[in-house]
Amino acid sequence: MFRTLMASAAAAAPAPSSSATKPLISLTQPLTRRSCDTIRRALEVAYSQSELAHNPAEAHAAVLVPFCNVNGTPGILLEVRGKLRTHSGEVSFPGGKVDETDASTLAAALRETQEEVGIRPDQLEIFGRFGPPETSLGGLRVWPYVAFVHPESEEASQDLDDDAPLPSLSLSSLTLSPREVAHAFHLPLSAALSPPRLHSYLFRGARPYYAISVADIARGPNAVHSDGADVRWAEDPEQRDEIGGGREGRLEVWGLTGWYLCSLMRILGVYE
């Protein structure tokens, strides 16, 4: 059914995993210590975690892909950028530019995550990173890290059985920075395999990936808002890649964020 619905997609577009190659983790059952370890190992296999060198002549940024359970559902926390940020109204991961005070790109991702949504570093269980780091439209080399968000601290969950569901994050516990984040929402992992949500694009005109429509999720019960206003986003009249909230009036996980999410789904066997 999926392949029929996506027949208009580019021929080289990523495909969902077949029944013979299931995703490495469940897309519907809560994340556990065992599934977190699976994500960590998949990142280690896919990308060298010791490859930390970067060109100091470039400007750098870092983002965090924050896995979490919300109401027992596994997913990823995403933001809709605030009015005073570059590309306001677009979906993104927490993160931003590496400052001189940051000891590393990971330190920058952790600092920005706390500043933007109020998640402390001690709540985060870092799995690793993937790549290669791409360059943003603003010229920043962006390093993507992956973590799990614990509602309290990582230590509070260490005594759980390997197959016990990890505690769910209450989105009401987040503290959004109104200047930087208009909305934050939980994207269920199952959305990555929902045909009506998926649109096949070419990243930078060459590499196929899936963008995911999320307007209903960003407006739904598993979202929090800085100002209580309706979720709004800009539409680019020229329909240029990575400008605005998405194509044809949609709010989408697209552009660099969509490319990174699609790349991570490939690593986890969600897409072939």
Q: Dump pLDDT digits (tens) for 173-202.
A: 999 998 899 999 999 999 999 999 999 999
pTM recorded for the entire structure: 0.91
Residue 105, H or E segment = helix 105-117
- Amino acid 100: pLDDT: 92
Mean pLDDT for 224-248 is 80
| Beta strands in the chain, from DSSP E residues, in sequence order | 59-70, 73-81, 91-92, 95-97, 124-129, 134-135, 140-149, 181-188, 198-203, 207-213, 223-225, 252-253
- Beta bridge partners of residue 224, listed in sequence order: 184
Spatial distance between the Cα atoms of 210 and 8, rounded to a whole number of angstroms: 13
Confidence check: pLDDT of 4 > 60:
no
Q: What is the pLDDT of residue 85?
A: 60
Res. 228 pLDDT band, cuts 50 70 90: low
pLDDT digits (tens, 9 = 90+) for 26-78: 999 999 999 999 999 999 999 987 655 667 788 999 999 999 999 999 999 99
- pLDDT > 50? residue 211: yes
Whole-angstrom distance, CA of residue 198 vs CA of residue 214: 10
pLDDT at 157 over 50: yes
